[in-house]
Amino acid sequence: MSLLQISEPGGSPTRRTARKRAAGIDLGTTNSLIATSIGGEVRTLADAGGAHLLPSVVHYGVDGVIGVGAAAKEQAAADPANVIASVKRALGKGFDELTGSGDYRQYRFDPARDTHAPAFLTAAGARDPAEVSADILRALARRAEDRIGEAIEGAVITVPAYFNDAQRQQTRYAASLADIKVLRLLNEPTAAAVAYGLDSKDHGNIIVFDLGGGTFDVSLLSLQKGVFEVLATGGDTALGGDDFDRLVADWLARQCGMEEIAPQDYPTMLRAANRARETLSVATQAELIWGGSRFSLSAAEFAKLAATLVRRTILACRRVLRDAGMETGDIDNVLLVGGATRMPLIRRAVAEYFGRNPLQDIDPDRVVAIGAGIQAEVLAGNQPADDFLLLDVNPLSLGIETMGELVEKIIHRNTAIPVSKSQEFTTYKDGQTAMALHVVQGERELVSECRSLARFSLQGIPPMVAGAAKVKVTFQVDADGLLSVFAEEASTGRKAEVLVKPSFGLDLDQVEKMLKESHDHARSDMAARALREARLEATRLMDAIDGAIGEDAELLEVDEHAAIDRAMDDLRKAMAGESAALIEERTEQLNNVSKDFAARRMNMTVGAALRGESIDAMESQSD
């Protein structure tokens, strides 16, 4: 029996807009979740057993069967080499970083793979971090299809705010391997703000304190009249609940008289440590059993073990406030995100530092997925886009190398994204027909102190005198935090561009170090920049004068030539020193003694040009 659509006579046929099934995915280090709209409300989806959290663990069996989640986690003790956990930390990392950190000591890596993109050796073959992540994403997509009876058409996937470009690229690649269309990569703290902002209609300055299993982010957001803006962000890509577990595991090893934990024992000991840490979130004492012996760890002793890690989280909060020019008294609310924030010692430290109890209205494990699900509904067209405006920020400055190995920042740290900014550059030497462009990331003034992202070149610049060419360089950062750089020469329209796909192997602590060092070395960096700029200007002037003398030495008087030589010698001596002010003073002296020579050359050039015009004019009149 077919259904008929009936409308009133003379009326327009009614059309129902097809609803697109979208989801929010929190791809976590320890656990992952998926959320979608059910009955008009975004909720996280549970598996058949009622568990919302999917352990981010994959087991590759010798029979080719791939297990994901709790079942895979159960295999960690029996088959540690084939159970991959905490893979999120491996995204975008190089071989040396993975093998040197100790986090992956129980794994073997494929020697045939590129060391910039290492792969775990498993019973099912080599699997790189993106492929392992894809297996987790597939499991989440299957859960959604089983739960709601239809496939996901697109997803918003969350990432730590401090994920660099390589890590974001690999997250997107993992989704493509899992046949999931990425609507957007969304920073985890921002996703939490979306969930809380829409639910509680809160306004003001809010700190999102996100301590997950493997990463830590703290962001300062302004929520006003439906506008979500990240004012500043910071954190530590090498800090999470896993690190607290390692402290307990190391403590247990010492109690057992071990100097070092054997690789085959490491997963089991970590699981025991994790259970103890979770117990201490609700009790004052936890018992651990190892090798037939029973050990007791008190909450007070655990707090002493973890004091350094807790201090690191508060230092990150302090840096974020400093970046935004705010004090703790300017903060209206603090949101706790991530399962590790259930630890009482974390909640106490946050409450003491900010002088207020943090909000805990939404399950800290689920809030990120819920916020991503809400954003997915908007991007899929299921919710009006003008319900709220979401602005994210660029966590580290992006710029380009200029002469003297100096960094010219084009998009500054904490600039709202998506964003596009342009700046004009020119040639350094006469007749220059190409320009090499070096894209860098960081807060320091010298290229050597920043991170190299990409190199490309612009060819076909018309030969002109130095400084005459105009090359417009444009930096574009999209909503996912991915960077594209374009260069265009004004007179010819010649273009070159690069999509930044940075090299892997960024040190775990490098992002945090870059920010700290930029503050610690601010004065010395500015002094170094001033010195290099002074030397560059001096070199440019001396090169120009040498070239002019080579072409028109006959225009110089003997005494004048000697005065210029003395001034150039004085300038060279100043350039050998470390005083930018002295170099600038000697450069100005050289300018003064050579200005009459420069004026005569200019008059001669203009006169020749005018004579040429007159001859051309007469020839045209005679014709």
Catalytic residue positions? 26, 88, 188, 210
Contact between 225 and 388 under an 8 Å Cβ cutoff? The reply is no
- DSSP string for 223-254: EETTEEEEEEEEEETT-SHHHHHHHHHHHHHH
Measured CA to CA, the distance from residue 580 to residue 142 in angstroms comes to 64
Main-chain dihedrals φ then ψ at residue 42, nearest 5 degrees: -80, 125
Which residues on neighbouring strands pair with residue 186, listed in sequence order?
A: 158
Contact between 28 and 88 under an 8 Å Cβ cutoff? The reply is yes
Q: What is each CA distance from 9 to 4, 13, 15, in whole angstroms?
A: 15, 10, 16
Of 227, 153, 229, 219, the residue nearest 188 (C-alpha): 219
Quick one: DSSP state of residue 447? G
Strands (E), 72-136: 83-85, 120-122, 125-127
User: HEC profile for 327-343?
Assistant: CHHHCCEEEEECHHHHC
Interacting residues of 589 by C-beta distance below 8 A, sequence separation 6+:
567, 570, 571
Contact between 365 and 338 under an 8 Å Cβ cutoff? The reply is yes
Peptide bond into 111 cis (omega under 30): no
Query: How many C-beta neighbours within 10 Å does residue 95 have?
Result: 19
Measured CA to CA, the distance from residue 545 to residue 426 in angstroms comes to 20
Measured CA to CA, the distance from residue 445 to residue 525 in angstroms comes to 6
Measured CA to CA, the distance from residue 50 to residue 72 in angstroms comes to 17
